[in-house]
A = this chain, B = another copy of it.
Amino acid sequence: MSERAFGESPVVITEEGSVGLVETKYFTFAGGQDLFRLENGRALGPVTVAYETYGALNENADNAIFIEHALTASAHAAGRHSPEDKAPGWWDVMIGPGKAFDTEKYFVVCSNILGGCYGTTGPSSVNPAAGKPYGLDFPMITIKDMVRVQKALSDSLGIRRIKAVAGGSMGGMQAVEWALSYPDKVDSIVLVASGAVSNPQSIAIHKVGIRAIMDDPDWNGGDYYNGRPPARGLALARMIGHITYLSHNWLWEKFGRRHPDPESMKRRLDSNFDIEDYLEYQGARFVERFDANSYIYIMRAIDIYDAAEGYGGLAASFSRLKCKKALVASFTSDWLFPPYQSREMVDAIRENNIPCDYHEIDSPYGHDSFLLEYRTLTESIKEFLGSF
């Protein structure tokens, strides 16, 4: 069953403005002095970071744009790895010549987050001390830790200043943390469908996802790399997550109560509505590409992030910001990071006298709008980046 069967995606991929063929590169920070000291005090090393770059760094080394990915994406944000690739990178509609993040002007960098499973060190990486994957021996990581790895990558690439750090969802949290941790490096932030914290409903949804994985006997306390991965638990966690990416009204629009065989509904327990088949499909597709432990660690990093931590409130915390400008965008139908969470950040940014564009975009697609409303975002971001 293809995604297409469930209705057209509003995203139209064309080769126009493509960055073309790209490759994922890897940078490894060796142990010893380069060892990462995590927020919780634990040391981690060596750390490898997978990243891609599009466009070129200018002479002043100040035209970099860091793209921060959300929960399950990778460094592969734009272009294709081979001409045969079925789909381009995850934010290809936004990155390329003439696009929102214009690779003719900017040096665009996207790296896989710490704790991920797309080339950057994470729970599925080999723990050198044990000679086998970390599993649950991987230390707890935070949004700040993810950003610190990116800062090291930025330095290794010779970047002096960053024009913008931009991200949607958890990517927005990383962008905020970049500007808070390295105020002298970041000219601007672009926060899409994001928040300064996870709200308790989001924590609750992650909770049941984590529980679904851990309850799968194949999870085996996180030590499954030599056996069967916890495919059913991970699929279920993803299905739960998917419900939160789509809005109530969009579910009516996209699936309604459609059923391939309504006659069977009252006879068979396994007779599925289209929405159910869709969730099963999304779950099954996800387990082919993602590591269950990474999913747990990253959800947890989102849960515990608090941009106001250690400060009396968000405005007080944001007094650290030295960026020139900010752009914040939210979507009316997003119930994972509802617009009020974006408005809280806008208020705290403006209270610190930093100019902040705010777009509350009327969109039916729920949280997924941040990937789907690329036309509206493109317009706003182009104007924003061109203004300073």
Contact code string A287-318 (vs B, CB < 8 Å = 1, else 0): 00000000011001001101000000000000
- Within 312-343 of A, Cβ neighbours of B (below 8 Å) are at 335, 338
User: Do A252 and B208 touch across chains, with their CB atoms under 8 A apart?
Assistant: no
User: Do B204 and A276 touch across chains, with their CB atoms under 8 A apart?
Assistant: yes
* Copies of this polypeptide in the complex: 2
Tell me, yes or no, whether A105 is within 8 Å of chain B by CB.
no
The SS class assigned to the A binding surface is helix
**What is the chain B residue whose CB lies nearest that of A338?**
B248
With A208-B236, A208-B279, A215-B216 as given contacts, are A142 and B203 in contact (CB-CB < 8 Å)? no
User: Do B136 and A197 touch across chains, with their CB atoms under 8 A apart?
Assistant: no
Tell me, yes or no, whether A56 is within 8 Å of chain B by CB.
no
How far does the Cβ of A134 sit from chain B's closest Cβ, in whole Å? 12
Contact code string A179-220 (vs B, CB < 8 Å = 1, else 0): 000000000000000000111110111011001100111000
Tell me, yes or no, whether A233 is within 8 Å of chain B by CB.
yes
Binds B, one of A58-66, A265-273, A355-363: A265-273
How far does the Cβ of A113 sit from chain B's closest Cβ, in whole Å? 16
Report how far A361 CA is from B199 CA in the complex, Å.
25
With A275-B207, A306-B257 as given contacts, are A201 and B140 in contact (CB-CB < 8 Å)? no
User: Do A211 and B236 touch across chains, with their CB atoms under 8 A apart?
Assistant: yes
Contacts of A273 in B (CB 8 A): 200, 203, 207, 303
- Within 226-261 of A, Cβ neighbours of B (below 8 Å) are at 232-233, 236, 239-240, 243, 248, 251-252, 255-257
With A215-B233, A306-B257 as given contacts, are A204 and B268 in contact (CB-CB < 8 Å)? no
Report how far A268 CA is from B296 CA in the complex, Å.
12
Contacts of A304 in B (CB 8 A): 265-266
Query: Could you name 7 residue pairs across A and B whose Cβ atoms are closer than 8 Å?
Result: A197-B257, A201-B251, A204-B279, A207-B272, A207-B276, A211-B239, A248-B335
